[in-house]
Structure 1
């Protein structure tokens, strides 16, 4: 009787975890004018994690962001935004990135009739290390237009950052341009979880034994240690943001 009860309890715990964890796959972007949650739940490293698309609908609309015990990252999809991040003020456009360290204040104001951005809010399962995040530079803004483009035989790459944060001892982001009809690499695994955001073109992502198709605006989530590889299925270069953490 005790054995049966233990099995039942373990099954309930497993089902509950499965329902709450973020699954590997593609999350489709919809042309919205408000807020849409693309994925939400637990990952190997984060609990909770929420990834969504948000819109500021009017020029001069603004939003104040502050979190005591979580980090947030913002990737601009379309429009221009004025960012006041602590003492720094900067205006940036599409594909630019804003990273917000816990306890910092960030005010974003739309400089265009519509501002659309992806954003991920998350908390580490491990103890937060504010000193590590501060020592690595704390909050920052990356202007996509200022990134150096490095061409290679498969296309090219722009590097946003390779850093440590209060939540992540390893945190990296880049933009890849991938030539038509090829894979970036054969399927591989890494302990870091990864998100890939399609900026332009069409792709397919091999995840385990399944194939997922992604178009401009769509988002792939790749869980820790899951085999994956992306292929450009179009006739021209595609472009995507990829970022991972551990």
Structure 2
């Protein structure tokens, strides 16, 4: 009898000590928000619950900096049974904050004029990481002898002929490369610089290693793609 009592007590202790999984989350812009820009976060719950308001908390003082009505529910979305858009655009004071609503607390975020500074160049890290040929992350070269022709008779090229097509990027982080997707990526790099030249910096050499070369890094990356596309179309 005593053993049964102790077993029940131990089981209850485990149950009471188990941390309850959260049922609601607040999704924010992790880069932050500009003072005069639109500021919206999304509250979502896996339960069909409703909330009436939200609070913006100063991360340093833990005091309420602003609050507002949650507004109209947006219903089910993705894994959530209920969602709300929390709009705090009227709050413009720079600083670090977090939101809380309906038992959920968001990660901290910043409101400031330079929250997007460097974001454009940050995206280029992925492109450099996916380079074939010389890879600046590995500081080594890969796939230097992969270019062998198949089904090239109609173009007058003997099967298994080696062609130098080193360069470009891995597609979807695997060993394949496609001219179509590479051309699309190259196009967007060039158009990004055409439309927003002032947001890109020169911090890398053409080979992707640290150092300036007098050219915006986004153009270095676009050139990496263009050079490979020209290799893939030798008669162009």
TM-score range, shorter chain: under 0.3
* TM-score, length of structure 1 as denominator length: 0.23
More helix by share: 2
Which structure's residues are more often strand, by fraction?
1
- The TM-score with structure 2 as length reference comes to 0.24
Bigger radius of gyration:
2
